Amino acid sequence: MRLSLLRALLCGLVPMLIQSTANAQANAIPSTPIERAAPSAEIQGAPQTVSVPSANNPQANLTLADAEARALKNEPRLLAERFRAQAANKRVIESRSGYFPQVFGNLTAVDANGDSAVAAGALTTSSISTRAAGGASLVQMITDFGHTSNLVQSARLRAKAAGQDEESIRQSVLMQVQDAYFAAQAAESVQKTAQAVLEFRRVTLRQLTALAQSQLRSTLDVQFAQVMVSEAELAVVRAESNVQKTQAQLAASMGEEENSNYILAEESLPPSPDADPAGYINEAIGNRPDLKALRLQSESATDQARAERDLNYPTVNALATGGEVPIHDSTIHHDYGAAGININIPIFNGGLYTARAAAARLEAKAADKDASLREVEIVRDVRMTWADARDAYLQIDVTQRLVDQTNVAMRLAQARYDAGLGSIVELNQAELNQTSALITAASARFDYLRSMAAFRFALGDLH
């Protein structure tokens, strides 16, 4: 009878440890099985975890904010997009330069072959004189009928679009870091749960072995217990491997090559999304930086098309030139100067300007359709991530109740087994159900956090 009572107490060891930790948690949402199972990994004799510090794998405290800061500092994609945004801002200055005077300096020295003139390659002839002179020329655009202004506006919109692309990459980096961070926490929680289950089954095996030696239980029961221990050992090996993988993924998401054994800080649970996603859809359409970038690119393409169309109009420039001729022959004066206006009227260029304008209009239409497609994709992403977040939030409570139910079933199966009314197969099945519920509950909290990170990314609200 004492052995039976001892066995019943051992059977309830894991649930009691889980429940004691749950009572110590204070949160808006009931504490999850992850939190409740954490202390059970400290049972004496449990296998060592990968969090044990070593010379080659030191421990390092890491909060989510620290991980995000490291990623934003090291991520090559973000740095590359930042350089592209800076380059786009320089192109605004490049386009705006057409408004300002263009001044050129000239130094010329000519040794002519007597009084001669250029006689080939032109309809008119120009005399060539021996001289050495210096001067300057100025060209000031008076009007090009909107060509330059449209180019400047197009460049400004492209620069703004590049800034939105940078913001989109930044939010993508943050989402990846959060996903990797919570995945690593989930893997560690599952590992602790698996180790607690393994230790409990080892205790059960030792007890059944002692009972079998006293001929109070059959060797078949011992064999079943050994199978259960081996399965628990396999689960621990897989859990430890998953911890290593998620830690490596976390390091990669932060742009770090060395894989440290991070001690991750707990994050509070955000509230559940509202029951109606309609408001979130409007928020996402207004906030998503990638959609803003596409809309700006569409507007930029429209201005670019107008600029190409304006090439068909005349260009009016003011011209001025002047200088000194200290060395010259009798055909020219010692100085010179002139001013005038030049009107350049395009007449025929083989359809070049017309084709460029038509191509730019088609590019503008394509950019507008790209923005429309992205808007449809955003609506889809918001609805899907909203559903995932709601589902993950509800699973936290469901998995808790599932653990409680499997604990009750386990105690009943244990009582039936001790009373000789149930078989070892029935008891083992109850243990399997309990283990499955514990492992599922161990990751439920972090699955919700990962779902919320994806949902906030879909809303364009990761800061």
Domain boundaries, the chain: 2-85+153-298+364-459, 102-143+312-345
Give residues with Cβ within 8 angstroms of 219, minimum separation 6: 212
Q: What angle do helix axes 219-253 and 64-74 make, rounded to 10 degrees? A: 50
Would you state the structure tokens that stand for residue 420, as one six-digit string? 């000789």
Instruction: State the DSSP code for 351.
Output: T
DSSP secondary structure of 12-33:
THHHHHHHHHHHH---SSPPPH
198 and 47 in contact (C-beta within 8 Å)? yes
Nearest to 447 by CA among 135, 178, 50: 178
CB 193 within 8 A of CB 40: yes
Cβ count near 405 (within 10 Å):
13
For the CA atoms of 149, 83, 173, 246, the dihedral, rounded to the nearest 10 degrees, stands at: 160
pTM of the model: 0.77
What are the tokens at 461? 């609200």
**Residue range 2-85+153-298+364-459, CATH number:** 1.20.1600.10
Tokens describing residue 28:
């808006």
**In a structure prediction context, what are the per-residue pLDDT tens digits for the chain, which is 463 residues long?**
333 433 443 344 444 434 433 333 333 333 333 333 333 333 333 333 334 344 455 677 899 999 999 999 988 889 899 999 999 999 999 999 999 999 999 999 988 876 677 777 767 777 888 889 999 999 999 999 999 999 999 999 999 999 999 999 999 999 999 999 999 999 999 998 899 889 988 988 898 898 888 887 888 888 888 988 999 999 999 999 999 999 999 999 998 877 678 889 998 999 999 999 999 999 999 999 999 999 999 999 999 999 999 999 999 999 999 999 898 887 788 888 999 999 999 999 999 999 999 999 999 999 999 999 999 999 999 999 999 999 999 999 999 999 999 999 989 988 888 888 888 888 888 888 888 898 888 889 999 999 999 999 999 998 7
Strands 127-128 and 116-117: antiparallel
Written as one letter, the residue type at 194 is A
